[in-house]
Amino acid sequence: MGRIALSAILPTLEERQNIEPLLVRLEAALAGIPHEVVVVDDDSRDGTGDAVEAYGRAHPGVALLRRRGQTGLCSAIRDGIARSSGDVVVWMDCDLSMPPEVVPALYAAVAAGADIAVGSRYVPGGRDARTGVPLHRVMSRGLNLFLRALLRSGLTDYTSGFVCARRTVLERIPLAGRHGEYCIDLLHRARLLGLRVVELPYENTPRAHGASKTGTSLGGLLRQGAKYVTLAFRLRAVR
């Protein structure tokens, strides 16, 4: 295999029904871009890892990193980055809520000079189209408006989780946190370093199959939101 231009990191936990359709669509979208796909599975009990291994036997550009006794979104992405070799790295959710067809545009933005390209639900052309989770939509929108004001930036989607970045950026700013905090931290620190961060629109659609890994109750959402707000105040003091 020649030089890898783009590494796609897919962190999974109980996503057997979603992962193969995602891999098919992602590889079709990336045709023409030298790439690899690293699926980082947190030892799913539903056979997600086995499904990836079976798919990978016919698609050598897809590899599985199976983690045992370790969980956490941020650490899964970090481990996937360490396992990969592309000059540019992208990651996304694996529940089919983020369209893989947007990945080439994110990559193109980085290839054209951006340091980080973020899929945003809140720039013109983007939309949070998740149905059945009104609390998620309202709190996500409100939180991002708060973060934008507090951190004094033009960024609209600090909690996107749909990110493409130069590997050199991720070496300068290691991902920190357990869940979605890492995205707020990464984007804020990148701006402090004077790096170019751009946002591209995407439509966040409902999860295709399975249950959300984020708390769906009001209490769970408030607890997670409180962590984000606490982090934002800490970051606001960073110069």
- For residue 217, the tally of other CB atoms under 10 A from its CB is 9
Q: Evaluate whether 130 touches 51 at the Cβ level (below 8 Å).
A: no
Residue 95 lies inside a defined structural domain of this protein: yes
Give the model's pLDDT for residue 69: 86
Residue 68, class by beta-carbon neighbours within 10 Å (0-12 exposed, 13-18 middle, 19+ buried)? exposed
Q: What is the CATH number of the domain that holds 90?
A: 3.90.550.10
Helices (H) and strands (E) in the chain, counts: 8, 9
Residue 112 lies inside a defined structural domain of this protein: yes
Residue 85 lies inside a defined structural domain of this protein: yes
Residue 207 lies inside a defined structural domain of this protein: yes
Per-block mean pLDDT, blocks of 10 residues, the chain (239 long) = 88 95 98 97 95 96 94 95 98 96 98 98 92 75 92 93 98 90 95 97 82 57 74 76
**Residue 231, CA distances (Å) to 2, 201, 228, 237 in order:** 41, 25, 5, 10
With a CB cutoff of 8 Å and minimum separation 6, the contacts of 123 are 156, 157, 199, 200, 201
Q: Residue 64: beta bridge partners?
A: 39
Residue 107 lies inside a defined structural domain of this protein: yes
Alpha carbons 138 and 213: distance in angstroms, whole number: 18
Q: What is the DSSP letter of 113?
A: T
Q: What is the residue range of 39's domain? A: 6-236
Residue 204 lies inside a defined structural domain of this protein: yes
Residue 91 lies inside a defined structural domain of this protein: yes
Q: pTM for the whole thing? A: 0.91
Residue 1 lies inside a defined structural domain of this protein: no
Question: How many domains would you assign to the chain?
Answer: 1
